[in-house]
Structure 1
């Protein structure tokens, strides 16, 4: 992106609404409740012919530095320092407040370009608040309606004027011909062998979602990975509301991590804002490849922990367990043995799932956690050739023949892998609807053991083979 823009202002002036308008998606949570946004959220924005990086921030609230509001404002200040330009949002309908004047003074001291944006300008009686904005001494305000998309052309012109055309429209970089990836199949040199099991790509970016109950230490864990206080943390439960994505490098591999809101039991989620936060967390799980479920090692395996793991597996994601707050555990060996026993007993649907004791506070075990994430993703992407699968299926039937249902024994004829991410298999058989669940579990456990696929969801589907004589028999009738 050519430049970075920070959206700042007091609570409930429409910062997140403008952010969603510019990125073209409903990424940030929007509600009438003041102070919905807490962390700074980046995004890729487009405004007519401008493309830039934009940062949504928390609203200004005067408070002590060690309070939650004070820590939120520290995140906003970090976004202002990072940005090339600030969009100072005021509520034209409500007019100026002392908080607006305080923020204007702070922005003036920064010495960076600032555009005053008078939002909600479509409302009746907003002219007074628009003209009051001239008294801030930050130039002519730009009237817009973030909700209805009015005034976006004027905002584009104001950004170009503030930064200059050379900064707003950097020259495009030419792509060398040698950089174009031309594959042999495109040149007609033959396709790859379908039976070949593709190698795992160690360089592809990896999307990882961090989920768990409130106050399990998810944001602290990500901050430890990044080596900075990128996400808002504290002793209060439920600080995170939006699903915030951050990128970093681990052993030359790009990792995109999603911090999510803590998920409580469904019966306890009553407020609209918390429902929106949980829905955002569920969306992050669906778009992730690997999901790390963070447990509090001091009170592990609560009912909600097990339900979150089951949810992740039903969504087909690769799952890793992280027992956080390991620095608070006294008898490591005894607790670790107890956790291993409970993992095997309480999570039979994820036999062999990788579990790592960590401490987001001290950094203990983070390398082992990342290695477990990579290994689980490798299994999640695994493909097995059809020839190997059919030899395996024949062996399994010899060791444990399919049961007889209604006096007729089931016949499993053919097996192939139809997909990966997660691994999915199709078995051609007689009477697929009669295959008992116990035999399906037998096959799934055999796949885990014989093809080294622990801890990932495995899908096995059955279908009846086509009968070539069925249509002829109907014709004779």
Structure 2
């Protein structure tokens, strides 16, 4: 461990190449090297990426009667989804394709989601389950709410379902045409979102009118941008520069009197963006510091999508201060 910590890899990192400190004899660092190799393997010979891989899957979720079907009809430019003033009109997830500005979209209308204690009909329970399953195959989830009947708690639960599954989120406040003091109401809603939707505080917030078409196509623009952000690959040298800067500016709290050090960072996945960080004491990184790093990572690389951090033991030897940790 002392030898590893004494290594000065600054010159190697500065070349712009990925650097993997390892010991073939003891197996140290080999797992990290294999992960990086697997992430960069090319497509098998003769295989072409499926066309649907380029399709942006956009699902619209929200409480009953917030205007989901009306919004999708407006985006499509025709009445393809059944829209009604009566809540519960949509019972199943319904898909429609759209090509807009050269990008292909698959738009999904879903059943309205009410609080669990309000759902007693078995058909509605099944519809809600199918609506949530659409999140699994979506790239971007629009959480649609009603400017005249806010349901902050339920909207927060719906947004949490999307974020937990690593999906990009757009918060859209519909029926904006019915709001009189638009500037004052917009400020109030932004403050509410900061208080009650902290787990998706990175998500864009739009004020729209599906009925009049106000700003509805910004949803498509944002969906394309967020899909691209969620699919981004961050160069390893830039990640390591960021990790070292975080250690210097705001180091992790001590663990039983011992420092927590990060030695290397690299990306292991997309949708959501997933970063692995080699660490001498992974168990010492608490939730608060993890959230701090995620927020700073989003700021540094301008991401408005979910991010996951994985902390891995940098070697197979046991660091000081961790003995008996599992007792």
The alignment's TM-score, normalised by the length of structure 1, stands at 0.55
Q: What is the distance in 1 between the residues matched to 2:318 and 2:246?
A: 30
CA–CA distance in 2 between the matches of 1:374 and 1:367?
Answer: 11
Q: Does 1:424 align with 2:305?
A: no
Q: Give the 3 Å change call, closer, same or farther, for CA 231–185 of structure 1 in structure 2.
A: closer
Q: How far apart, in 2, do the equivalents of 1:468 and 1:430 lie?
A: 10
Matches within 5 A, 1:246-257: 246-257=96-107
2:238 aligned with 1:388? yes
Asked if 2 retains the 8 angstrom alpha-carbon contact of 1:263 and 1:278, the reply is yes
- Aligned runs of 1:105-116 on 2, under 5 Å? none
Q: Which of 312, 315, 318 is matched with 1:466 structurally?
A: 315
| Stretches of structure 1 lacking an aligned partner (at least 5 in a row) | 1-182, 188-200, 471-477
Give the 3 Å change call, closer, same or farther, for CA 380–273 of structure 1 in structure 2. same
> Any idea what SS the aligned residue of 2:92 has?
coil
- 1:318-355 residue CA offsets vs partner (Å, 9 max, x unmatched): 10011111111111111111112222222222233101
Count of matched residue positions in the alignment of Structure 1 and Structure 2: 273
Contact conserved, 2:264 with 2:278, CA < 8 A, in 1? yes
Once the two structures are superposed, what CA deviation does each residue of 1:15-70 show, in whole Å capped at 9, x if it has no partner? Answer: xxxxxxxxxxxxxxxxxxxxxxxxxxxxxxxxxxxxxxxxxxxxxxxxxxxxxxxx
Alignment root-mean-square deviation, CA: 2.1
Of 164, 173, 191, 1:341 maps to 191
Is the Cα contact below 8 Å between 2:147 and 2:179 reproduced in 1?
A: yes
Q: Is the 8 A contact 2:61 2:144 kept in 1?
A: yes
Going from structure 1 to structure 2, the CA distance change for 1:430 and 1:469 (only over 3 Å counts) comes to closer
* Matching residue of 1:366: 216
For residue 303 of structure 2, the aligned residue among 422, 442, 453 is: 453
Gaps of 5+ in 2: 1-41, 320-327
Q: 1:426 to 1:352 in 2, by over 3 A?
A: same
Q: Does 1:310 find its partner at 2:157?
A: no
Matches of 1:336 and 1:312, distance apart in 2: 24
Specify the structure having the higher radius of gyration (Cα): 1
Matches within 5 A, 1:153-164: none
CA contact (8 A) 2:61 2:131 kept: yes
1:241 maps to which residue? 91
- Which residues in structure 2 correspond to 1:18-417 (within 5 Å)? 186=45, 204-417=54-267
| Aligned 8 A contact 1:358 1:369 in 2 | no
